[in-house]
């Protein structure tokens, strides 16, 4: 059974960089799939942040592309997201998940972690 678990600081100051890691168990991230980050501002809908393919190629939401970096750590079977120059608008629950190519469905999801941007 594949499981994903997000971790990272729950509070980030404005203008700083948000960094989160997703630990994957039950599946090798270097085998297949695209590994994704999503976010959901409080009381709002889902937003795709970006993906990294098992070979390392990345795909980002154009609205966030200038600030986002997603990377793989195959030795520890996890992947990470960094979002720079954060503002209060980046306050959200951040989820990690995966999808398989052009089929574009996401399963499973991590439980999510709330990141608040505040001084």
Partner 1 sequence: QSVLTQPPSVSAAPGQKVTISCSGTSFNIGNGYVSWYQQLPGAAPKLLIYENIKRPSGIPDRFSGSKSGTSATLDITGLQTGDEADYYCGTWDSSLTALIFGGGTKLAVL
Query: Where does this chain bind partner 1 (CB under 8 A)?
Result: 36, 45-48, 51, 61-63, 95, 99, 102-112
Smallest separation (angstroms) from partner 1 to the CB of 62 = 6
Nearer to partner 1, 56 or 108 (CB): 108
**What DSSP state is assigned to residue 89?**
G
Task: Count other C-beta atoms under 10 Å from residue 97's C-beta.
Answer: 21
Contacts of 30 (CB under 8 A, 6+ apart): 54, 72, 74
Nearer to partner 1, 54 or 109 (CB): 109
CA 19 to chain CA centroid, Å, is 9
Q: How many residues in the chain? A: 119
Nearer to partner 1, 7 or 16 (CB): 7
Smallest separation (angstroms) from partner 1 to the CB of 58 = 13
CB 26 within 8 A of CB 3: yes
Nearer to partner 1, 89 or 119 (CB): 89
Smallest separation (angstroms) from partner 1 to the CB of 111 = 5
Conformational region of residue 8, where left means phi above 0, alpha means psi within -120 to 50, and beta covers everything else: left
Smallest separation (angstroms) from partner 1 to the CB of 60 = 8
């Amino acid at each position: 059974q594949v499981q994903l678990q997000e971790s990272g600081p729950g509070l980030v100051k404005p203008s700083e960089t948000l960094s989160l890691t997703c630990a994957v168990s039950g599946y090798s991230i270097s085998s297949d799939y695209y590994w994704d980050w999503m976010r959901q501002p409080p009381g709002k809908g889902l937003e795709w942040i970006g993906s990294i393919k098992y070979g390392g190629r990345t795909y980002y939401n154009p609205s966030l592309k200038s600030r986002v970096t997603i990377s793989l750590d195959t030795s520890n079977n996890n992947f990470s997201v960094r979002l720079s120059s954060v503002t209060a608008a980046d306050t959200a629950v951040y989820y990690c998940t995966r999808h398989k190519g052009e089929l574009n469905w996401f399963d499973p999801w991590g439980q999510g972690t709330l990141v608040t941007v505040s001084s």
